[in-house]
Structures are given as structure tokens and as C-alpha cells.
Structure 1
């Protein structure tokens, strides 16, 4: 059984490495061609940023594979010997803390390199070492408190139910829904949320929300710029806790009409129930994962030199979950891309096609998002359609557009004011 799992994990890793290598080669070639959507210098910069991330991903994925091999061929046995505490539940929780900490320490250099080397070199990272340490301490405290409670609950279920995978799935799915519900509260531990100032923008956003039937906890501006220069906006939370969140960087770069078009897109997700669809898909994935891991034979754990106690079983689930997720990723990405097209259509109706097109073009440029990708990357990983396809669906042919010089599709007319900055 262990040999079978290693074969599948090896194939999974090979696929990830192959896709990353194809993406690096594709972008290295495309970035030297005629630029689209951006001036030549920004187009090249976006390409270089994508390549730098791709190279880091290659190394990180290979290290993850080596770590996986180490865990199943001796790591679990080593940790089981090291962790010896009274009580089955406490033993499992401490074991899982050790498992997570080891993986975190191994992955930390890649996170630091991404943030303080790559992101900083390309003008994204705004965090200081002090701010990073404070965030890490807060995250660690949350993990030990909330993560410890989840580990204890799941361990108790495994210890007390023969069909633990059913009850374990129910518990983890409930935790996932609660996490979405409480997301704004957790985010407030790391970011400052200020109510949007009274004025035309707030009035228009409120009117759009009323038109879509959305009742929220308020409209807030998040001080994202103290950590990162990228632009974004989202609806956080569920039910009455839902709030509209605008990055301060977004308010700085987009005019009122563009902001309304972007929020119209997000309202499209709300109107179409996409968040509940995503939760449903996540539930299906979790159910399949718990079913598979709940039926792993004891012989597998014997081959790894451990007994199938709760901590080891949960750690094995965490170790193999990315493999199961990868199998379903193309389908989930396809559904997500379909939802994005529908949200674009909704947003263009509420905020105007030309304003949504203009906003998308600014987002691509400001976020240094290279507008092209290898088909395999799109198939597996793109939760949003490629921006060129999104623009085309909105009636704007950007395939030969440089720095906002519009080439439109005849059926949609001409976006004559595409590069205006009026509100």
C-alpha cells in the first residue's frame, strides 16, 4: 500500500513540476514578443515576476516531495518516539503540533524568499521584519488555540467512533463554514478596517447592494498598503457578518466608475450564490478525502513503523490532502472560471462594460499580472479566466492592445473613453 501511495504522490509531484517548467518556458518566450495591455517595460517586468515565482515554485514543490518521502519512511516514527505524553487525545494534539511545526520550519525559507526577495524586488512587499514577526506571533497563537481545539475534536472522534471519517467530515465541514462566517473577525487581528467615508461612492455602493438584495455589516476600507501594494476588493463573512471590503490601494488607483464596476462583479458572485456553491464543492472534496483516508489499511501504518493512532491518521490526511485536491482541481477551476464570466456579465450590467474593462486593465498593470499563461496552467490552476479572454467576452479585443490603446470588437462598438480618469 505504501508503494502505491508513493507512486501516486510521485506522479502528482512530477505533474506539478512539469506544469511549472512549461509555464516558465512559455512566459520566457512570450515576454519577448509584442506586449499587450501594458507598456513594453511593465510587460517585461510582469513576465519576469511570473518567471521568478515559477522558479521558486519548482524548488518548493521538489522540497515538499522530499519532505513527504521523509515523513513516510521515518519521519512519523521519529516524531512518535519523540512525543510521549499522557492521554490519547493530548498525545495526538502534541504530535500534530510537532508535525505542523516541522513542515512550517522547512517551508519558512521559501515564504521569506517570496516576500522579502521576490515581492520586494518587484515593488509589492511593504512589510518590515518587525511587522512580519508580529503577524507570525499572532498567527501562531491562533493556530495553537483554534488549531489545537480542532485537533482535539477530530482526535476524540477517531478515538470514539469506528466510522470516524463520517463524523470527522461533518465536524471539519462545520469548522470550514464557521471560518467563513468569522473571517472578518480574524482579519481584524491583522488589519485595520475603517468605515468608508460618507459621500458619493458610499451612496452608490449602498444603492448597488440594495439593488442586488445584499444586507451587510457595512462598507470598510482595509489598510492593505502597509503590507502589500496589490489591488483587491471582496465580500467577507457570511449572513449578517458579511461586509464589503475595499483595499486602500484599490481606492487610490481606480476611479469611482471603475470601483463600482468591480464591486458589481463581486455582487454578481453574491447574486448567483457562488460562495455557497464553493462551500458545497469544498464539502464534496472533504467528504471524498475523509472517505479515502478513513479506509486506509492498518498495514500502511505498520510499513511506516507507527501504529494508526489518531495523531498519525490526521497527519496522514493532512499530508495526502493536496494529492486528492489536485485531482479535482481542474474541475473546480473550470466551475470557478464559469462563475467569473457570469459575475463579469453581472458587473458590466451594473457598472458598465467600459468601466469594468478599464478596471481590469488597471488591475493587471498594477498587480504586475502577466496576461498570458500556458494552457496547462490555465486548465489546472486558473480560478479566473485569463484576462484577455475576460476582456474579449466583454466585447474588447485586447490581443493587440498596448498601454490602453483600444482595439474593439465590431459587435460592441467603441470604448472611446477607455483611458479617461474621470469619476
Structure 2
């Protein structure tokens, strides 16, 4: 059984790396062609940024694979002996904290490199090392309290019920819904939310929400610029906790009409019930995951040198969930892309098609989003339709538009240390 799982995980890893390699080659070809939607300089920068992230992702995928191999052949047995896992709830929680801690430490260099090397080089990162550390400490504290409680409840359920996978699914699905309800609270621990000032913009947004039948907890501006320069807006929370959140960077870059068109798009998701559809899809994935991993044979754990105690079973679920999620990704991405087209139609009706087009063009430029991707990447990962397809649906023909060139300094691809070997032959 262990050999089958390792083989499946190996195939999963190979496919992910293959997709990334194809994406890198595709972007490196496309960036040499005539630019679309952006001036030539920004087009090249966006391409290099996409390639840099993809290359880092390949290395991270390989490391994840090595960690998986280590966990199933030695890591679980080592950690189990270290914490003397005996089937009690406390020993299971300590074991799971150990698994998460090891994975966090291994993944930390990638997070640091992404933030302070790649994002810094391409002008996104505004975060200081001190802020990064404070955010990390807050996240760890939250995880110890909330994650520890979840681990304890799951461990107790596994130890108490024969059909633990069903009760475990119900618990995790309820927690997922609760997390959406409490999202504004959790986000307030990391960012400052200020009520949008009274004025024409607020009145226009309230009028837009009234047309869509949305009652919210308020309209807030988030100080996103202290960490990142990207633009975004979203509706956070569920029920009475729902609030409109605008990045301060978005307010700086979009005019009133463009902003209303973007919010119209988001209201389209609300009007079509897309949040609840996503929760339902997540619930389906969780149910399948708990059913499958709740029926893993005890012989599998014996092959790994551990007893099938609650903590080990939860750790195995955590380890294999990305594999199962990947299988479902194309379907979930397809549904999401369909929802985005419908939201674009709704947003263009409420805020004006030309305003939504203008906003989308600004968003991809400011966020340095390369407008083209390999078909495999779109099939697996794109939760939004390709920007060229979205604009086409909005009756915008990018081929007839000439964008004036701007003088721009092209940041180099990171080319140091262990990342040097993947940064050759890009220019």
C-alpha cells in the first residue's frame, strides 16, 4: 500500500513540475513577441516576474516531495518515538504540532525568498523583516490556540467513534463555515480597517449594494500598502458580518467609475450565490478526503513503522490532501472561471462595460500579471478566465490597441545561491 501511495505522489509531483516547466518555456517564448495589453517594458517585467515565481515553485515542489518521502519512510516513526505517541489526545496534539513545525521550518526559506527577493526585486514588497516576524508570531499564536483545539477535537473523535471520518468531516466543514464568518476578525489582527470616508464614492457604493440587495457590516479601507503594492477588493465574511473591503492601493489607482465596476463584479458573485457554491464544493472535497483517508488500512501505518493512532492518521490526511485537491483542481477551476464570466457580465451591467475593461487593464498592469499562460496552467490553476478571454467577452479587441512605451527599468531575475541553476537562458 505504501508503494502505491508513494507512486501516486511521485506522479502528482512530476505533473506539477512538468506544468511549471511548460509554463516557463511558454512565457519565455511569448515575451519575445509583440506585447499585448501592456507597454513593451512592463510586458517584459510581468513575464520575468511570472517566470521567477514559477522557478521558485519548482524547487519548492521538489522539496515538498522529499519531505513527503522522509515523512512516510522515517519521519513519522521518528516523531512518534520522540513524543511517545500512545493514543491519548495530548500525545496526538503534540505529534501534530511537531509535524506542522517541521514543515513550517522547511518552508520558511521559500516564503522569505518570495517576499524579500522576488517581490522586492519587482517592486511589490513593502514589508520589513520586523513586520514579517510579527506576522509570523501572530500566525503561530493563532495556530497554537485554534489549531490545537481542532487537533484535540479530531483526535478525540477518531479515538471515540468507529465512523470517525464522518464526524470528522462534519466538524471540519462546520469550522470552515465559521472561518468565513469570522474572517473579518482574523484579518483585523494583521491589518487596520478604516471606515470609508463619507462622500460621493461611499454613496455610490451603498447605492450599488442596494441595487444588488446586499446588506453589509460596512465599507472599509484596508492598509494593504504597508505590506504590498498590489490592488484588490473583496467582500469578507458571511451573513451580518459581511463587509466591503477596499485596498488603499486600489483607491489610489482606480477612478470612481472603475472602482464601481470592480465592485459590481464582486456583487455579481454575491448575487449568484458563488460564495455558497464554493463552500459546497469545498465540503464535497472534504467529504471525499475524510472518506478515503478514513479507510486507509492499518497495514499502511505498520509499513511506516507507526501505530494507527489519531495523531498519525490526521497527519497522513494532511500529507495526502494536496494530492486529492490536485485531482479536483481542474473541475473547481472550471466552475470558478464560469462564475467569473457571469460576474463580469453582472459588473459590466452595473458599472459599465468600458469601466470594467479599463479597471481590468489597470489591475493587470499594476499587479504585473502576464496576460498569457500555457493551456495546461489555465486548465489546472486558473480560477479566473485568461484576461484576454475576459476582455473579449466584454467586446474589447486587444489586437487593435497600441500602448505607448514607458521608460521602465527591468528588474533582473533573481540569480543567486541555490536558485541560480534555474535562471539561465531567459533573455
Per the normalisation by structure 1, the TM-score is 0.95
Secondary structure of the 2:398 match is coil
Instruction: Tell me the distance in 1 between the aligned counterparts of 2:86 and 2:36.
Output: 63
Q: CA deviation at 1:47?
A: 0.1
Q: CA deviation at 1:403?
A: 2.7
Question: What is the match of residue 211 of structure 2?
Answer: 211
Question: What is the match of residue 383 of structure 2?
Answer: 383
The count of aligned residue pairs is 405
Contact 1:257 1:355 in 2 (8 A): yes
Secondary structure of the 1:383 match is coil
Question: What is the match of residue 150 of structure 1?
Answer: 150
Contact 1:35 1:402 in 2 (8 A): no
Q: CA RMSD in A?
A: 1.1
Question: What is the match of residue 394 of structure 1?
Answer: 394
Q: Where does 1:319-338 land on structure 2 (aligned, <5 Å)?
A: 319-338=319-338
Contact 1:2 1:303 in 2 (8 A): yes
Q: Where does 1:153-164 land on structure 2 (aligned, <5 Å)?
A: 153-164=153-164
Question: What is the match of residue 76 of structure 2?
Answer: 76
Q: CA deviation at 1:210?
A: 0.6
Contact 1:388 1:399 in 2 (8 A): no
Instruction: Tell me the distance in 2 between the aligned counterparts of 1:112 and 1:220.
Output: 29
Q: Where does 1:27-38 land on structure 2 (aligned, <5 Å)?
A: 27-38=27-38
Q: CA deviation at 1:335?
A: 0.1
Instruction: Tell me the distance in 1 between the aligned counterparts of 2:403 and 2:105.
Output: 42
Q: CA deviation at 1:32?
A: 1.0
Per the normalisation by structure 2, the TM-score is 0.94
Question: What is the match of residue 104 of structure 2?
Answer: 104
Instruction: Tell me the distance in 2 between the aligned counterparts of 1:400 and 1:372.
Output: 17
Contact 2:267 2:347 in 1 (8 A): yes
Gaps of 5+ in 2: 406-427
Secondary structure of the 1:217 match is coil
Question: 1:189-221: per-residue Cα shift (whole Å, max 9, x none)?
Answer: 000000000000000000010110100000000
Instruction: Tell me the distance in 2 between the aligned counterparts of 1:402 and 1:245.
Output: 34
Question: 1:354-376: per-residue Cα shift (whole Å, max 9, x none)?
Answer: 00000000000000000000000
Instruction: Tell me the distance in 2 between the aligned counterparts of 1:199 and 1:190.
Output: 27
Question: What is the match of residue 373 of structure 2?
Answer: 373
Distance change >3 Å, CA 400–CA 54, structure 1 → 2: farther
Question: What is the match of residue 127 of structure 2?
Answer: 127
Secondary structure of the 1:216 match is coil
Instruction: Tell me the distance in 1 between the aligned counterparts of 2:157 and 2:266.
Output: 38
Instruction: Tell me the distance in 1 between the aligned counterparts of 2:252 and 2:386.
Output: 25
Question: 1:147-179: per-residue Cα shift (whole Å, max 9, x none)?
Answer: 000000100100000000000000000000000
Query: 1 or 2 for the larger relative contact order (CA 8 Å, sep ≥6)?
Result: 2
Secondary structure of the 2:383 match is coil
Is 1:279–2:279 an aligned residue pair? yes
Is 1:7–2:7 an aligned residue pair? yes
Question: What is the match of residue 343 of structure 2?
Answer: 343
Question: What is the match of residue 292 of structure 2?
Answer: 292
Question: What is the match of residue 138 of structure 1?
Answer: 138
Instruction: Tell me the distance in 1 between the aligned counterparts of 2:136 and 2:277.
Output: 32
Q: Where does 1:227-306 land on structure 2 (aligned, <5 Å)?
A: 227-306=227-306
Contact 2:347 2:356 in 1 (8 A): yes
Question: What is the match of residue 169 of structure 1?
Answer: 169
Secondary structure of the 2:235 match is strand
Question: What is the match of residue 116 of structure 1?
Answer: 116
Contact 1:205 1:260 in 2 (8 A): yes
Is 1:222–2:222 an aligned residue pair? yes
Contact 2:233 2:245 in 1 (8 A): yes
Distance change >3 Å, CA 64–CA 86, structure 1 → 2: closer
